[in-house]
Amino acid sequence: MIDNTDTKQTLWVVTELYYPEETSTGYYLTRTAEDMTAAFDVKVICGQPNYSARGIRAAKHETRNGVEIFRAAGTTLNKNVIVYKLINMVTLGIGIFLKGLFNFRAKDRVLVVTTPPTLPFVTAVAALLRGAHYVLLVHDNYPEILFAAGKSGENSVFANFLNYCNRWLYKHASKIIVVGRDMEVLIKRKTEGLDIPIAVIQNWAELETVEPRARNENVLLKELGLEDKFIFLYAGNMGYPNDIETIVECAERLKTNSDIHFIFLGTGVKEKTLRKCVDELNLTNITLLAPKPRAEQITFLNACDVALVSLVAKMRGVSMPSRTYNILAAGKPMLALTEDKSELAIVIDEDQAGWHVPPGDAEKLLSAINEIYERRSDLAAYGERARRSALDKYSLEVASRKYLETLSF
């Protein structure tokens, strides 16, 4: 392709989170945008940092790594307070709508992520008014994620209204990208009769910065004095869609086993409850750590024998934890709480990279933990398969090739 911006098709990437955010969506959309600059004239509309980089005031307009960035006005209140989060969604939605309306041009391509849930709608309206073509990138499915989190009934007026709005959104999309094969099944059902092309493009492992490291050299385990323990590590968001409760129940039942220890590293709406349980139940076999920078992943992802990933029930087809891929990159076996036929279960099963049990089933989780511990001599083989899976299937190169094919229409 001719490398001349005057001849390139313009690609807009619309996302709440972008550089300097390192939270998963911010990281993945930043890398996706930057990797598309060889084929497109890439521009981004995003908000100010409000997650891992909250407090940083980024430039309203700048160019970075070949991508022109427009940051829309909007509030950056504490996202863990529901009312504040809603205010952020509304104000950012207005800001992004105006940026799109004034900047989109006829036949431009617009890639918009579906989180927060108002974002694709305001972007779609702006794109349609300007004659641009939008592609939906589905990271989370709404309203299904609200059902799983217990925040909405499946037959509520709100859910029916949102499903009606989604049909309109899907109908006018040029294409839909999903990050899991289970999500493809769900979106096909939701778009039945609309004949909208759907592409599956999984997120990827950060192979350039995450790799297996010797456990006996791990500085985090040494700092915590846990070198001699068998470690299960939960690293990531502790939100409503994550089954933290079942892990804690198992930890309580294992607290007399001095060999097995759990590390939780992260934050989210369930963190407060987790800390309360640890204190009230005197769970000395749990260590709680604050989130660490993305640059330290190679250390903390290697600070375990087995990595934990958890989703609550009803999350099949709804979302896929992106941390899964860096766990694979670190060559760590994975124990997941997830439903059969979810993307998470498929990734684990197809390369025998670990184990999974149903969400909310403490008996099966406890049984799996005990079996893993008894067969710990087998873990090296699981880890090798995990690393090979990341290298062969979940690299940036693989994902970028799929994005280029999907966006070139």
Residue 181 near residue 346 (C-beta atoms within 8 A) = yes
pLDDT for residue 23: 83
Residue 206 near residue 297 (C-beta atoms within 8 A) = yes
pLDDT for residue 6: 58
Answer yes or no: same fold for 9-204+395-407 and 215-393.
yes
Beta bridge partners of 64: 67
- How far is it, in rounded angstroms, from Cα 150 to Cα 408? 39
The residue type found at 347 is V
> What architecture is domain 9-204+395-407?
3-Layer(aba) Sandwich (3.40)
pLDDT for residue 84: 83
- How far is it, in rounded angstroms, from Cα 349 to Cα 72? 42
Q: Is the dihedral of CA 204, 208, 214, 215 positive or negative?
A: negative
pLDDT in tens, 125-161: 999 999 999 999 999 999 999 999 999 999 999 999 9
Residue tagged 């998470």 (tokens): 344
pLDDT for residue 88: 87
Among residues 15, 19, 237, the alpha carbon closest in space to that of 116 is found at 15
- How far is it, in rounded angstroms, from Cα 283 to Cα 297? 26
The CATH code that applies to domain 215-393 is: 3.40.50.2000
pLDDT < 50 regions, the chain: 1-5
- How far is it, in rounded angstroms, from Cα 232 to Cα 242? 16
- How far is it, in rounded angstroms, from Cα 331 to Cα 326? 9
Domain ranges of the chain: 9-204+395-407, 215-393
> What's the whole-number average pLDDT of the chain?
94
In the three-class reduction of DSSP (H, G, I as helix; E, B as strand; rest coil), residue 243 is classed as coil
Angle, helices 245-253/362-374, rounded to nearest 10 degrees? 60
Residue tagged 């989370």 (tokens): 140
pLDDT in tens, 235-263: 999 999 999 999 999 999 999 999 999 99
pLDDT in tens, 284-321: 999 999 999 999 999 999 999 999 999 999 999 999 99
Beta bridge partners of 335: 308, 355
- How far is it, in rounded angstroms, from Cα 194 to Cα 171? 6
pLDDT for residue 4: 46
- How far is it, in rounded angstroms, from Cα 337 to Cα 48? 33
pLDDT in tens, 375-390: 999 999 999 999 999 9
